[in-house]
Amino acid sequence: MTGILKIAFKLLVNDKAKFAALIVGITFAMFLMVQLTSIFAGILKKASANIINIGAKVWIMDPAVNNPLNSIPMPDYILDAVRSIDGVNYAVPLYSSASLVKLNNGVYQAVTVLGLDDTSLVGRPQLLEGKIEDIYGADAFIVVRDQEYAKLDNPTLGTTFELNDHRGVIVGIAQVTTSGLFGMPTLYTTYRRAIQYIPNQRFTTAYILVEPKSEQDIPTIKARVAALGYLGLTKEEFIQRISDYYKYQTGIGTNILIMTITSFLVGLSISGQTFYTFVLENLDKFGALKAIGAKNRELVYMILFQAFFTGCTGYGLGVGLSALLINIAVRKVPGYAGNITYFNLGLAFVMLLVIVFVSSYIAARKVIRVEPFEIFRG
Amino acid sequence: MAGSAVKAVNLEKWFGEGEARTYAVRKVSLEAGFGKMLYIVGPSGSGKTTLLSMISGILRPDAGTVVVQDKEIWNLSPNDIADFRLHHIGFVFQDYHLFPRLTTAENVAIPLIIQKHDWQDAIHQAMEILDVVGLKDRAQLNPVKLSGGEQQRVAIARAIVARPDILIFDEPTASLDGITGKKIIGFVKENILNEHRCILIVTHDSRIFEYADQIIMLEDGAIVKTVEGGLLEK
Which of A283, A376, A377 has the highest number of chain B CBs within 10 A, making it the mutation to test binding with B?
Answer: A376
Residue in chain B nearest A372 by alpha carbon = B58
CA distance B169 to A126: 82
Contacts of A298 in chain B (CB under 8 A): 114
Buried b (16+ CB within 10 A) or exposed e, B131-165: ebbebeebbeebbeebeebbbbbbbbbbbbbbebb
pLDDT 10s digits, A119-166: 999 988 888 999 999 999 999 999 998 878 888 989 999 999 999 889
Inter-chain Cβ pairs, chain A and chain B, closer than 8 A:
83
Amino acid of residue A230:
Y
Contacts of A6 in chain B (CB under 8 A): 113, 119
Look at residue B233 in the predicted model and tell me its pLDDT. Answer: 53
pLDDT 10s digits, B122-162: 999 999 989 888 888 999 999 999 988 899 889 989 998 98
Highest mean pLDDT (candidates A39-48, A50-59, A134-143): A134-143
Q: C-alpha distances in angstroms, B130 versus A6, B150, B164?
A: 21, 10, 16
Nearest Cα to Cα of residue B151 among B167, B132, B172: B172
Q: Which one has a higher pLDDT value, A127 or B191?
A: A127
Strand partners, A58: A210, A234
CA distance A377 to B216: 19
Contacts of B82 in chain A (CB under 8 A): 290, 293-295
- Mean pLDDT over A277-301 rounds to 89
CA distance B85 to B71: 12
CA distance B204 to B183: 17
Look at residue B234 in the predicted model and tell me its pLDDT. Answer: 47
Of B82, B94, B117, nearest to A293 by CB-CB distance is B82
Q: Quick one: what percent of chain A has pLDDT higher than 70? A: 98
Chain A: closest CA distance from residue B79 (Å): 7
Which of A292, A302, A368, A371 has the highest number of chain B CBs within 10 A, making it the mutation to test binding with B?
Answer: A292
pLDDT 10s digits, B11-54: 999 988 888 888 899 999 999 988 889 999 998 888 888 999 99
Contact B66, B8 (CB under 8 A): yes
pTM of the model: 0.77
Q: Is the pLDDT of residue B231 over 70?
A: no
Amino acid of residue A203:
F
- Quick one: DSSP state of residue B144? G
Nearest Cα to Cα of residue B24 among B58, B59, B57, B56: B59
- Reported ipTM: 0.87
Contacts of B85 in chain A (CB under 8 A): 291-293
User: Torsion-angle region of residue B29: left (phi > 0), alpha (psi -120 to 50) or beta?
Assistant: beta
Of A287, A293, A378, nearest to B86 by CB-CB distance is A293
Q: Is the pLDDT of residue A181 over 80?
A: no
CA distance A218 to A200: 31
Residue in chain A nearest B167 by alpha carbon = A292
CA distance B128 to B139: 10
Phi/psi at A110 (nearest 5 deg)? -70, 140
CA distance B9 to A20: 52
Round the average pLDDT of chain A to a whole number and report it: 88
CA distance A304 to A85: 61
**Contact yes or no for A376 and B49 at CB 8 A:** yes
Q: Is the pLDDT of residue A208 over 60?
A: yes
What residues 209-228 of chain B have any CB closer than 8 A to a CB of chain A? none
CA atoms within 13 A on the CB side of A295: 12
Q: Is the pLDDT of residue A177 over 80?
A: no
Look at residue B230 in the predicted model and tell me its pLDDT. Answer: 60
CA distance A231 to A222: 7
CA distance A96 to A89: 23
Q: Which one has a higher pLDDT value, A352 or A256?
A: A352
**Nearest-10 Cα torsion for A284, A286, A292, A293:** -150
Q: Which one has a higher pLDDT value, A235 or B188?
A: A235
Look at residue B3 in the predicted model and tell me its pLDDT. Answer: 64
- A281 has a chain B CB within 8 A of its CB: no
pLDDT 10s digits, B48-106: 889 999 999 999 999 999 998 888 999 999 899 999 999 999 988 888 889 999 999 99
CA distance B62 to A296: 23
CA distance B98 to B101: 9
Contact B226, B214 (CB under 8 A): yes
- B121 has a chain A CB within 8 A of its CB: no
CA distance A335 to A374: 61
Of B52, B85, B113, nearest to A3 by CB-CB distance is B113
**A64 Cβ contact list (under 8 Å, min separation 6):** A70, A72
- A105 has a chain B CB within 8 A of its CB: no
Look at residue B2 in the predicted model and tell me its pLDDT. Answer: 53
N residues, chain A? 378
